[in-house]
Structure 1
């Protein structure tokens, strides 16, 4: 009798574990679908002239259809370490970590690099797939801090000009701001990131480095010195650039404090969905401003992803 009871207990425990696993799997699937839809929405909202459509193939892989008719894969569905995502990322990887819009006072914890992961397939199709292609899209913007070479595609150059002009006005009210900005350290430079072989965002002319300091870069100093530099960095500069669609390299564990990079999709996802967890009683798009354009995109995304 005791043996029978023990067997029944083991069987019941096994069945309950299976049920629990299935429930967790269903929850994870729901979360994944929700986040997929959110990612597609922010991408289509922030790159309206670059993304023509989306499609889902018979195997369930999702692609962005670019204006040049090239396809960019959203998620390769491969398990990757944080380092592997840096070297071989898809769009899902780039939007996985939520960028913090609140100002920080120390180096981000290890593994937190929101915005540092880049889909090179996407960037190449938007801003240019070669040095020559990028150069064709570069324009000069005259700012208070000098003439800046920047990519005109998707409003990148216009937003850089807007950010620098606002920062120059803020510097009149807070003179210490100027000392963190000028002289700037460069915009367009077709090069790779040192020791990685990966193209720098400067190669696409979508990044600017402001005034350099020995404590600005994770390879130049230790985390303590980087944290000290972050703690005194003017919040006004960071907020201004973020409002114009730029992420700040100071909010990376691999900190790059002088670096600002045009990534409007990262900023929009943080604004719309940064504090919105997936819940049963909420629509996946809750948190996003709803208008005629967003309604049309929501319907398109639902029709494609849910089929």
Structure 2
């Protein structure tokens, strides 16, 4: 979160730094083959990619939500916590965890251009047909696991198949309508399931969206979330047929969703006994001069 005005500036600074370290740890766990280090230079914090490129964590600019969407940094992307628990009602219209995407990161991982993304696409069976999904960063394998579980679920609950399939689309290199921003479908990391006219905030009223939300099978959502996909049904600007591979957001919710910034160690909640996670914690502490 951005630092807020307060009578306790030290506490604000500590809270900000703990949140930043947790964000960076989640990103390192989510993209282990792509992020190799964290570096502090001239009071700015950067993720260092295997390519040698650096991506700024926080530009320290105060932004309204639309500006965060159009010109985001990593901190903007990680700021709103994705709710892993079920929701009964549509989220507030300005609560959209996952709609902010840091494109330099996505391009590093999934491909810088249409042709480079296409080289990373593989077929994944979805119902009675195959769809294209990005193989990088375990995305396609995660979707494959989702589809296997959905097939098993549909055999146990006959109505599931007709709700989920046919899939409406995966890879489609395009900008989001009315913007100059690439859709996550451009990277082959998002899937739209069977469409309903009440699915999308631009197509439907909030009342229609609420009814669609209430009827949507939560077993489907849980399977996707277990495999590191977020659900557009948990956005105020709802997109109920949409699931997007965003491991960094799922990991932050899973490990730090209920943790306060006054824990004994900033990484409390994460699987810090794991050797790789230990390595990331050490890199982060070293960058911030914590011995």
Matched, 1:250 2:250: no
Q: Is the 8 A contact 1:144 1:165 kept in 2?
A: no
Alignment of 1:232-247 (within 5 A): 232-247=215-230
Partner of 2:188: 205
Cα shift at 1:217: 0.2
1:139-170 deviation per Cα after TM superposition (whole angstroms, max 9, x unaligned): 11234342110101100000011101101111
User: What is the aligned length?
Assistant: 285
Partner of 2:35: 51
Partner of 2:264: 282
Q: Distance in 2 between matches of 1:293 and 1:53?
A: 13
Q: Is the 8 A contact 2:259 2:269 kept in 1?
A: yes
Partner of 1:261: 244
Which of 118, 125, 129 is equivalent to 2:101? 118
Q: Distance in 1 between matches of 2:209 and 2:158?
A: 23
RMSD value, Cα: 1.3
Mind listing any 5+ residue stretches in structure 1 that lack a counterpart? 1-20
Q: Is the 8 A contact 2:6 2:12 kept in 1?
A: no
Q: Is the 8 A contact 2:127 2:166 kept in 1?
A: no
Q: Is the 8 A contact 2:231 2:240 kept in 1?
A: yes
SS at 1:199 equivalent: coil
Partner of 1:34: 18
Cα shift at 1:305: 2.1
Q: Distance in 2 between matches of 1:145 and 1:152?
A: 20
Cα shift at 1:110: 2.3
The worse-fitting range, judged by mean Cα deviation, of 137-146 and 219-228 is 137-146
Structure 1 stretches (4+) deviating beyond 3 angstroms?
A: none
TM-score (norm. length: structure 2): 0.95
Partner of 2:200: 217
Q: Is the 8 A contact 1:138 1:150 kept in 2?
A: yes
SS at 2:36 equivalent: strand
Matched, 1:176 2:159: yes
SS at 1:62 equivalent: strand
Which of 69, 72, 82 is equivalent to 1:89? 72
Q: Distance in 1 between matches of 2:173 and 2:95?
A: 26
Mind listing any 5+ residue stretches in structure 2 that lack a counterpart? none
SS at 1:150 equivalent: strand
TM-score (norm. length: structure 1): 0.90
Q: Distance in 2 between matches of 1:144 and 1:209?
A: 13
Measured at CA, do residues 22 and 233 of structure 1 come closer, stay the same or move farther in structure 2, by a change above 3 Å?
closer
Q: Is the 8 A contact 1:145 1:164 kept in 2?
A: no
